[in-house]
Chains A and B, each alone.
Chain A
Amino acid sequence: MIKQRAQHGHATGKAIIAEHLCKVFNITKGTLRRTKTQVVAVKDVSFEVDYGELFGVVGPNGAGKTTTIKLLTTMLIPTSGRATVLGYDIQRDVTKIRERIGIVLGGERGLYTRVSAIDNLRYFADLYGVPADVRDKRIKELLQFMGLSERARDRVETYSKGMKQRLHLARGLINDPDLIFMDEPTIGLDPEIARETRKMIKELVEKGKTILLTTHYMFEAEELCKRVAIIRSGEIVALDTPSGLKKYVMDTSVVEVEGFGITEKEVARFKEISDVLSVSADLGENKQILKIQTSKGSEIISEVQEILKNSRIYDIKIKEPTLEDAYLRLVES
């Protein structure tokens, strides 16, 4: 039976099939007067992931990325809809799925910091039922792959952020999973370590692993993912290859303004202009960057100068739209 199901998964060539997945949370508030509200975290989400594919899910905070991962990893039961992971049903075949998948959650938590990397890996290997002889060999290999061999016996609390993240990755691979779920694996990492992490992710795909990755960073999705789903308020609003997603904004251009003294009020005024599709502003203390996505092209420059007449403008550039612009347009529309 198990074999048949697994074969079914491979026969269809799909590592993940999600069909109309929905997750609604009931939230109770108050002590004396208890009020119940419902929060729809995931709404009618459907997609498929091929074996050996690196599939990305991007979206703003609270969009439903983590809930989607938790549904597919059997940590949550869907309110409605169905999904299969490696050919197994997420509601019925919980143990079968858990044995064959790896989970890498971002951040510094999720590790026993008072003990060593070896003890962390050994513990999780036992929880995943890895035989003792295989376990010890695999731990050695993983520590080597992650560049942690020299510090393997030191307490994790003495590790840097990057080392902890590499240990997270090693822990996610301890059962030699066919499919790995990575929830924002580079969040909070400095650029160098994030690049190192991305390199390791690429190597895993080269080794034949299937990966579902969520991220906030569009350049990361563009660099790593074969296909990307953009999720907004629990719904998938677009699903395509990074270049396919850029087509959503092919008819537009991005006006990038570098200046000083730009206010939130002025940013809001840009949003009111017709033909402005999205506006993003990085209003730092020393340098401010405003990105206006528009179908007007260079015609908008005079309006930009008018709105920002009280601010200092250092530079105005007209750029080709990137995946980030496509993302912003889809998320804000």
Chain B
Amino acid sequence: MKAEGDMPKMPQALKVVYSAFRMAMLHWIADPQWVIPNIIAPFVFTTVALTLFKGSTGPFGLYAILGGGIMGMWGNTLYSSGFAIEFEKWQGTLEEVMAAPSKLILVIAGRSASNAVFGLTNMAAVLLIAVLGFRVPLGIENPLLFIVALILTLLSLSALGLIFASAFVLSRSAQALTNGLETPLYIISGSMFPVALLPFWIHPAAYILGPTWGVDAIRLTASQEYASQTFWTGMGTNLAIILDLAVMVLITLAYVVIATVLFKMVEKRARIQGTLVEA
């Protein structure tokens, strides 16, 4: 076994992200509350969804399961990340973290990444419960691309989480507004049902969300029957998946740029006002 000291040297920024990731994982393990959102909630959702779609023809079962899993990922990744700065405040460690020479955004990115991993356990729990508990045949057509799409969607959610984290501390209204937007976001992003089924005027809002494209890609990798409802209708499935992922990556990069600017504002405000929350 390789000792930790013998590990290849990481760039400092990556080391901070990894260390924050590790610290968040240690907290998840230490706090058994994660069982509720990651195991119990997916179990309840999957049961309800499969009961509702019982006897339906077409891939409704699969839609419901994927939708449930994706919503779990949304909730877990986006909202846990959104409250990452608040978490430090509740712990009483925010001042110590802010006083360190590392950028706050790197610390929160590490936390966000750990939330993404736990978001993945949520999705895995839904799939396992569906397959083992309800004998739903999943038959994912392209398992490799499915995993790639899943991971990239999680990263996109994490990046969006960074924007939420900074917006939450810059404005209390953002926090209140976002709580109210939870369900609309699930709908707009196509997590509950395909975006194609939504009114046309909602589409622009759906397509500026990175995860919308990820959800599209996840559904495409899972079922051929979804090809008629994707944004890229008429193109080959693999090309459509790649285009979905490319658009998502671009939007995610834009999120990172926006988050960087917002975090600079957060740190400046903290240094001017002495507080991280708008009065």
Given contacts A28-B279, A95-B101, A105 and B96 within 8 Å (CB-CB): yes
The answer to whether the Cβ of B30 comes within 8 Å of any Cβ in the partner chain is: yes
Of A52-60, A108-116, A238-246, A280-288, the one contacting chain B is: A108-116
Residue of B nearest to A104 (CB): B96
A266 at the interface (CB under 8 A from B): no
Question: Are A112 and B23 in touch, CB under 8 angstroms?
Answer: yes
B19-A126 in contact (CB<8A): yes
Say yes or no: is A92 at the interface (Cβ < 8 Å to chain B).
no
Q: How far in angstroms is the closest Cβ of chain A from B17? A: 10
Check if A77 sits within 8 Å of B30, measured CB to CB.
no
Q: Give A36 to B93 CA distance when docked, in angstroms.
A: 29
Inside 8 A of B101's CB, which chain A residues have their CB?
95, 98-99, 127-129
Q: Which of A26, A28, A103, A119 is the one whose CB lies under 8 Å from B99?
A: A103
Residue of B nearest to A126 (CB): B19
- Whose C-beta in chain B lies nearest to the C-beta of A129? B12
Query: CB of B7 within 8 A of chain A?
Result: yes
Interface contact A76-B271, CB-CB below 8 Å? yes
Question: Which B-chain residue is minimally distant from A94 (CB atoms)?
Answer: B101
Q: A103 CA to B107 CA in the complex, in Å?
A: 19
| With known contacts A29-B279, A127-B101, A132-B7, A122–B30 Cβ distance under 8 A | no
Whether B132 is near chain A, meaning CB under 8 Å from some CB there, is: no
Set B9, B91, B99, B270: member contacting A112, Cβ < 8 A: B91
| Bound CA–CA A76/B27 (angstroms) | 29
The reply on B274 being an interface residue by CB < 8 A is yes
A contact residues around B27 at 8 Å (CB)? 112, 114-115
Cβ-defined contact, A128 with B100, below 8 A: yes
Chain A residues whose CB sits within 8 angstroms of the CB of B102 once the complex forms? 126-129
Decide if B96 touches A110 in the complex (CB within 8 Å): yes
List residues of A (238-279) whose CB comes within 8 Å of B's CBs: none
* Known A95-B101, A124-B100, A155-B30; contact A110-B92, beta-carbon cutoff 8 A: yes
Binary interface encoding of chain B residues 99-117 relative to chain A, with 1 for a CB under 8 A from any of its CBs, else 0: 1111000010000000000
Contact pick for B100, options A67, A98, A105, CB 8 Å:
A98
Residues of B within 8 A of A136 (CB): 4-5
Q: Does chain A have a CB within 8 A of B26?
A: yes
Residues of A near B92 (CB, < 8 A) are 107-111
Residues of B within 8 A of A111 (CB): 92-93
Q: A105 touching B95 by the CB < 8 A rule?
A: yes
Binding site for B on A (CB under 8 A): 25-29, 67, 70, 73-77, 95, 98-99, 103, 105, 107-115, 119, 122-124, 126-129, 131-133, 136, 155, 171
B interface residues, Cβ below 8 angstroms from A: 4-5, 7, 9, 12, 15-16, 18-20, 22-23, 26-27, 30-31, 91-93, 95-102, 107, 268, 270-274, 279
19 contacts between A and B (CB under 8 A): A70-B274, A73-B99, A75-B270, A76-B272, A77-B271, A98-B100, A103-B96, A110-B95, A111-B93, A112-B27, A112-B93, A119-B26, A122-B19, A124-B96, A127-B102, A129-B15, A129-B101, A132-B7, A132-B9
